[in-house]
């Protein structure tokens, strides 16, 4: 399996920034549950999705002082300009019911849906691949687990 950073570079997706974490890696024998969910479904089903509300507030206030907001805007612009690449994004990762990786992507689609392209139903209907697993499914590593 290609590592996440190489995948991003090869596919010209915005690179992780200072606000990005390291995605968890599943053991080869792990069998995470795969679902395809809209951003609204993710927000309803997954605990610990950070900063999507704050990004909307920053956007409304034209506040570009937070690295997270700037990275989310970068992702949103990429997604808007390259909708055909959305299906090939890495999966969102949920461990023990809590978000482990994918917050920038979730926040970017939410920003598109709520502010940048709110007249288009596309952003409400896009489904992201989400992998649900447990800590026992993971290769030990230094990634953030809540």
pLDDT tens track for 82-109: 998 888 889 999 999 999 999 999 999 9
Does 33 fall in a domain?
yes
Does 78 fall in a domain?
yes
* Number of domains, the chain: 1
Does 50 fall in a domain?
yes
Q: CB burial class (10 A; 0-12, 13-18, 19+) of residue 105? A: buried
Print the domain residue range for 69. Answer: 28-137
Q: How many residues does the chain have?
A: 146
4-18 pLDDT, tens digit per residue, is 444 444 446 666 655
124-145 pLDDT, tens digit per residue, is 999 999 999 999 999 998 887 7
How remote is the C-alpha of 7 from its chain's centroid? Answer: 15
d(CA 122, CA 86): 12
- Beta-sheet strands, E only, within the chain: 33-37, 92-95, 98-101, 128-133
CB of 54 within 8 A of CB of 106?
A: no
Does 5 fall in a domain?
no
């Amino acid at each position: 399996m290609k590592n996440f950073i190489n995948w991003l570079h090869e596919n010209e997706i915005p690179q992780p920034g200072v606000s990005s974490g390291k995605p968890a890696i599943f053991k080869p024998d792990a069998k995470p549950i795969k679902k395809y969910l809209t951003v609204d479904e993710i927000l309803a089903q997954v605990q610990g999705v950070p900063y999507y509300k704050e990004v909307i507030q920053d956007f409304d206030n034209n506040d570009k002082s937070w690295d997270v907001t700037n990275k989310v805007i970068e992702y949103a612009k990429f997604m808007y300009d390259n909708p055909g690449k959305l299906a090939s994004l890495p999966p969102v990762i949920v461990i023990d019911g809590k978000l482990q990786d994918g917050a920038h992507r979730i926040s970017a689609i939410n920003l598109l849906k709520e502010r940048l392209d709110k007249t288009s139903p596309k952003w409400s209907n896009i489904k992201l691949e989400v992998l649900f697993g447990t800590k026992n499914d993971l290769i030990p590593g230094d990634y953030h687990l809540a």
